[in-house]
């Protein structure tokens, strides 16, 4: 008599695949990924990707954290802090897009308070730098014809205008910049003598954060074997921007120059306006490091020129070697409301898929798991091939130069990728 208990399928046993009835064992993982679930339509995509593209092929090991807004509210946002600490423990995380609440969201989700951006919290804890690069598909039109290879934007996601203090000035008076040391000594600089109404702004950064930014950039350049450009405006900002320039140069000369020479890659500094001209004329294939505001603007410019934010990878890298992969776009609220009404959606899942492949590849590299690395490569290839075959979501159908296009809905696109993965 057969004992059915002995026939239970485990992760280490073989599973049935659709490709001609072929059986194949699932890929094993030794160390879990930190999995950060998210909100709205991207949460729906998250489950589709896992069910269709990951779980049938991988014995997926994750430490799961629900960063959906409702759960963040229930835990007083503690879950966000816990997920960041888990990333420190395991080294690699993958994150779904999340809502950063505003006044409207306060009412919609009955929030206890207007919780901070999970991305901002995680970035601060990991002290990381955000690297964003486009997913290049040959059949998608580019805004800059000579861009043949991806341009990766490294954004210093700390301080500057995003942590600024602002003041409206009414009437005449003197605005001053004042620093009071612990010893009580004051340093004063006059900002402007106002003769009428105006505005002032103060912003800051720290040598510690700039140094972390520099090391993350240098390490990522070595990791990806790409040239690194850094741009600022030290000719105008002779102390603020010049400090960025000096710290980058000091760290490079002392810690990375020989490593860069060994890998035959280059680091150089240039003014931000010169960098823009160089970037437009280039063929791509390098990392462009920018201060916070510059990186915010230029990453959107690069994304749009290559296609859209839905075709942009994003990874947060800390100088200690922690990696957090995510999609560069938001939660696709409009599609989510359509989905809730039972209406058909055609949501581009490429950036979210590539967040998973990036995390799986890095996990495989760190663990010496070549099967996991190979699978990540195959999934990316299958995703790109689907679009090249003319099967795509509506947003890409409007950008393609292919004459014959099959426009599919959200789930159909993912299933088309699976067909090419088998």
Measured CA to CA in angstroms, residue 256 lies from 7, 213, 262, 270, 414 at distances of: 55, 14, 10, 18, 42
User: For the chain, what is the largest distance between any 2 Cα atoms, rounded to a whole number of angstroms?
Assistant: 97
d(CA 321, CA 91): 7
d(CA 225, CA 222): 5
How many Cα atoms occupy the beta-carbon half-sphere of 385 within 13 Å?
14
Q: Quote the percentage of the chain above a pLDDT of 70.
A: 94
Q: Among candidates 232, 243, 246, which has minimal Cα distance to 293?
A: 232
Any bridge partners for residue 93, and if so which?
Answer: 34, 324
Measured CA to CA in angstroms, residue 118 lies from 72, 84, 96, 331 at distances of: 9, 10, 11, 13
- pLDDT, one tens digit per residue, over 384-414 is 999 999 999 999 999 998 999 999 999 999 9
d(CA 96, CA 157): 19
Contact 258, 297 (CB under 8 A): no
Please give the structure tokens belonging to residue 298.
Answer: 């230029």
Assess whether pLDDT exceeds 80 at residue 23: no
Fold agreement (27-137+313-422, 142-164+205-306)? yes
Confidence of residue 24 (pLDDT cuts 50, 70, 90): low
Name the strand (E) or helix (H) holding 167. Answer: strand 165-169
Domain ranges of the chain: 27-137+313-422, 142-164+205-306, 166-202
Assess whether pLDDT exceeds 50 at residue 15: no
Name the 3-class secondary structure at 29: coil
Residue given tokens 């003197």 in the structure block? 174
Assess whether pLDDT exceeds 90 at residue 3: no
How many Cα atoms occupy the beta-carbon half-sphere of 387 within 13 Å?
26
CATH of 27-137+313-422, one of 3.40.718.10, 2.40.50.140, 3.40.50.720, 3.30.565.10: 3.40.718.10
How high is the mean pLDDT of the chain?
91
Assess whether pLDDT exceeds 90 at residue 197: yes
Compute how many other C-beta atoms are within 10 angstroms of the C-beta atom of residue 200: 15
pLDDT at 390: 96
d(CA 225, CA 260): 9
CATH homologous superfamily for the domain 142-164+205-306? Isopropylmalate Dehydrogenase (3.40.718.10)
Confidence of residue 164 (pLDDT cuts 50, 70, 90): confident
- pLDDT, one tens digit per residue, over 71-115 is 999 999 999 999 999 999 999 999 999 999 988 999 999 999 999
**Quick one: the chain helix, strand, coil %, rounded to 5?**
45, 20, 35
The 8-class DSSP code of residue 115 comes to P
- pLDDT, one tens digit per residue, over 42-74 is 999 999 999 999 999 999 999 999 999 999 999
125, burial (CB in 10 Å: exposed 0-12, middle 13-18, buried 19+)? middle
Q: Report, as an integer, the average pLDDT of 284-309.
A: 90
Name the 3-class secondary structure at 331: coil
Which of 27 and 162 is assigned the larger pLDDT? Answer: 27
Assess whether pLDDT exceeds 50 at residue 179: yes
Confidence of residue 157 (pLDDT cuts 50, 70, 90): confident
Contact 349, 326 (CB under 8 A): no
pLDDT at 344: 95
The 8-class DSSP code of residue 313 comes to E
pLDDT at 394: 94
């Amino acid at each position: 008599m057969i004992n059915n208990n002995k026939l239970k399928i485990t992760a280490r046993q073989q599973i049935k695949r659709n490709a001609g009835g072929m059986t194949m064992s699932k890929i094993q993982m030794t160390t879990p990924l930190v999995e950060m679930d998210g909100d709205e339509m991207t949460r729906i995509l998250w489950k589709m990707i896992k069910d269709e593209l990951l779980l049938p092929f991988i014995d997926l090991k994750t430490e799961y954290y629900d960063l959906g807004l409702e759960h963040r509210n229930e835990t007083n946002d503690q879950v966000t802090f816990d997920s960041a600490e888990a990333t420190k423990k395991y080294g690699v995380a993958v994150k779904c897009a999340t809502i950063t609440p505003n006044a409207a969201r306060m009412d919609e989700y009955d929030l206890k308070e207007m919780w901070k951006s999970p991305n901002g919290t995680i970035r601060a804890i990991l002290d990381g730098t955000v690297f964003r690069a486009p997913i290049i598909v040959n059949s998608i039109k580019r805004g800059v014809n000579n861009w043949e290879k991806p341009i990766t934007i490294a954004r210093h996601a700390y301080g500057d205008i995003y942590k600024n203090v602002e003041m409206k000035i009414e009437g005449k008076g003197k605005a001053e910049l004042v620093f009071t040391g612990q010893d009580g000594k004051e340093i004063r600089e006059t900002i402007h003598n106002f003769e009428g109404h105006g505005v002032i702004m103060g912003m800051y950064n720290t040598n510690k954060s700039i140094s972390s930014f520099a090391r993350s950039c240098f390490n990522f350049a070595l990791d990806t074997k790409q040239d690194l450009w850094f741009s600022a405006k030290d000719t105008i900002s002779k102390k603020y921007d010049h400090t960025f320039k000096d710290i980058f140069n000091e760290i490079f000369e002392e810690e990375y120059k020989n490593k860069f020479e060994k890998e035959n890659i280059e680091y150089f500094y240039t003014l931000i306006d010169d960098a823009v001209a160089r970037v437009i004329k280039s063929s791509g294939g390098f990392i462009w490091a920018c201060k916070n505001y510059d990186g915010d603007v230029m990453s959107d410019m690069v994304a749009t020129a290559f296609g859209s934010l839905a075709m942009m990878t994003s990874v947060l890298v800390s100088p200690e070697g922690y990696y957090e992969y995510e999609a560069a776009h938001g939660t696709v609220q409009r599609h989510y409301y359509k989905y809730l009404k039972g209406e058909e959606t055609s949501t581009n899942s490429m950036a979210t898929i590539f967040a998973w492949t990036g995390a799986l590849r890095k996990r495989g590299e760190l663990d010496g798991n070549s099967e996991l690395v190979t699978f990540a490569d195959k999934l990316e290839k299958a995703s790109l091939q689907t679009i090249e075959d003319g099967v795509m979501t509506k947003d890409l159908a409007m950008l393609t130069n292919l004459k014959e296009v099959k426009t599919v809905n959200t789930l159909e696109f993912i299933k088309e990728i699976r067909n090419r993965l088998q």
